[in-house]
A = this chain, B = another copy of it.
Amino acid sequence: MQLGLVGLGRMGGNMRGRLRSAGHEVIGYDRNPAVSDVASMAELVERLAPPRAVWVMVPAAVTEETIDALAAYLGEGDLVIDGGNSRFSADAPRAERLGKRGIGYMDVGVSGGVWGLENGYALMVGGDDEHVARLAPVFEALKPQGQFGFVHAGPVGAGHYAKMVHNGIEYGLMHAYAEGYELLTASELVTDVPGVIKSWRDGSVVESWLLDLLDRALDDDPELSNLSGYADDTGEGRWTVEEAIRLAVPMNVIAASLFARFASRQEDSPAMKAVAALRQQFGGHPVHKRP
């Protein structure tokens, strides 16, 4: 089928490739003319036969304005799919706004990272049944082969919600491996830390794709000595914990993983300064002065 695709970065570019390999006609637009198929969003819409379907795959920070700009060219019967990492709470208002002009809306959480081109992308979809059915050929091409990798999770918003939880879990998984890895490196007994990690890749309870990737990273740099312990976060982890708070769900593990990322980006910790100050006050404990 024919699909418009807005955003041809790391994710969007690969998706265009995978869709074309599956025989779909993809017309892509990106602000970067070097990768764009058309000169403007207007031309993109013009080149698509109505009723159009346009997949938006841009950073969360510019999704709202991108969809608004796009929608100005669209009309009755067209369909917008947000495959980016929007907060789920943005979906229902967006669907309502577009719906007033007869434009459909779906949200799709997309997982798979840079590996998706080859392996396929796990897709979590929120939206109406008719819209899901309409995009079925696209989903079929993007998802991995086999029986998994796709779910119609619920109405508009449910796709981003499922993706948000997915990423929250991802934070927790990564940090569990990370803590175990650190303990191994601290141990006096274990002499082959990368070997231990590698051994778990088959037959162990902790085998996973993330573990494969950790092994891969250790193959390249056995002590991770080229890296700093600094990690950004991209929104979904925060939203997951916010939702846990809203719904009164205990979430110590994922929250701790998120807080560890916050701490990794601090040059110094105001909280620990306060602790040091208190210890000095009551116990006369020595403090470390700033140089």
Residues of A within 8 A of B (CB): 10, 88, 111-116, 119-124, 126, 143-144, 146-155, 157-158, 161-162, 165-187, 189-192, 195-196, 198-211, 213-214, 216-218, 221, 224-232, 238, 240-266, 268-285, 287-290
Contact = CB atoms under 8 A, between A and B. Distances in A.
Contacts of A174: 274-275, 278-279
Report, nearest first, the 5 A-B pairs whose CB atoms are least far apart. Answer: A172-B176, A229-B272, A208-B208, A151-B199, A122-B204
A166 B201 CA distance: 11
- The dominant DSSP class at the A interface is helix
B274 A153 contact: no
B256 A253 contact: yes
A228 to B, nearest CB: 4
Question: How many protomers of this protein does the assembly include?
Answer: 4
A263 B244 CA distance: 12
Given A214-B278, A228-B273, A161 B175 contact: no
B228 A289 contact: yes
Given A148-B201, A175-B253, A228 B287 contact: yes
B250 A199 contact: no
27 contacts: A111-B200, A114-B282, A114-B283, A116-B203, A147-B202, A153-B191, A154-B190, A155-B189, A162-B196, A165-B196, A169-B177, A178-B270, A183-B243, A186-B270, A208-B210, A209-B282, A213-B277, A217-B274, A227-B288, A227-B289, A228-B289, A230-B276, A252-B252, A256-B256, A260-B275, A263-B263, A264-B269
